[in-house]
């Protein structure tokens, strides 16, 4: 067997029998990330807070593709529910190899009119949640054979966005959390982030006008948006041995739009 075939075979089996937790995997990008790992034989915990039907559908699709999966409802900003979720994963799989902190939300509004509840809700989901989940998961990883954590961030951490002070601040905090975790958890655990730009998805199409989307595309060097499928493959890359010497980085995944 030649070297190229060996490399390709390794790519197909790298995540086989690995245990993966994807938060917010009942809908949106999380679905694609969970399926991407499951398609390569991973054992996946499909976390959700509200989208039970979607989470169960993802589980079914992973099982059909040859992976293992179960759905677990948990509010990631609630430490009791996070603890229960991690215990369930340990019971199912005996360990956790990869964590993808994907769950998040936005509650946009003008700075002067933004409510305390809107601020607290977004910070809880986008920053407190990844902290709580990562802390619990990392404690299990250091007891075992280490692992990888990938945080889903955003490009708005570097340039801001009107009417999104809570969202931008939460993701900027997540970027610094990524660095601090990488410093403290290495060399046992690698921690990186994805600075996500515009994704060609129903959510973006619902939030922005055709003119706004076209403006984004025209200001992007690659002249297009990314997709959920493409993003999931990049997340998988950051969890793979191909990036074994990368940690503490939040890599902008935006077609070059926010070069600096």
Residues of the chain above pLDDT 90, percent: 86
Q: Tell me: the pLDDT tens digits for 32-76?
A: 999 999 999 999 999 999 999 999 999 999 999 999 999 999 999
Q: pTM of whole model > 0.75? A: yes
- Which of 32, 48, 93, 167 is flagged as catalytic? 167
Domain ranges of the chain: 14-253
Biggest CA–CA distance in the chain, Å, is 65
Which of the four pLDDT bands, split at 50, 70 and 90, describes residue 160?
confident
Q: Tell me: the pLDDT tens digits for 76-99?
A: 999 999 999 999 999 999 999 999
Is the pLDDT at 207 greater than 80? The verdict is: no
Main-chain phi, psi angles of 253, to 5 degrees = -115, 75
Q: Is 167 a catalytic residue?
A: yes
Are 193 and 249 in contact by the 8 Å Cβ rule? The answer is: yes
Angle at 103 between CA 229 and CA 176, to 5 degrees: 100
Are 104 and 151 in contact by the 8 Å Cβ rule? The answer is: no
Indicate the CATH number for domain 14-253.
3.40.50.720
């Amino acid at each position: 067997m030649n070297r190229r075939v060996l490399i390709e075979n390794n790519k197909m089996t790298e995540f086989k029998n690995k245990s993966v937790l994807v938060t917010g995997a009942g809908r949106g990008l999380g679905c694609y990330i969970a399926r991407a790992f499951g398609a390569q034989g991973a054992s996946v915990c499909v976390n959700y807070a509200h989208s039970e039907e979607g989470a169960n559908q993802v589980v079914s699709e992973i099982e059909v593709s040859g992976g293992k999966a179960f759905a677990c409802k948990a509010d990631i900003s609630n430490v009791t529910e996070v603890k229960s979720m991690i215990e369930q994963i340990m019971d199912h799989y005996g360990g956790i190899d990869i964590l993808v902190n994907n769950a998040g939300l936005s509650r946009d509004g003008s700075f002067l009119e933004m409510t305390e509840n809107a601020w607290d809700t977004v910070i809880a989901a986008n920053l407190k949640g990844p902290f709580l989940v990562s802390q619990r998961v990392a404690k299990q990883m250091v007891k075992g054979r280490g692992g990888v954590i990938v945080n889903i961030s955003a490009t708005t951490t570097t340039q801001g966005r009107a009417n999104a002070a809570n969202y931008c601040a939460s993701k900027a905090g997540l970027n610094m959390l990524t660095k601090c975790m990488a410093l403290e958890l290495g060399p046992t655990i690698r921690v990186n982030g994805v600075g996500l730009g515009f994704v060609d998805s129903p959510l973006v199409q619902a939030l922005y006008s055709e003119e706004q989307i076209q403006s984004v595309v025209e200001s992007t060097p690659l002249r297009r948006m990314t997709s959920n499928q493409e993003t999931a493959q990049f997340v998988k890359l950051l969890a793979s041995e191909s990036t074994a010497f990368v940690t503490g980085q939040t890599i902008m995944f935006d077609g070059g739009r926010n070069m600096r």
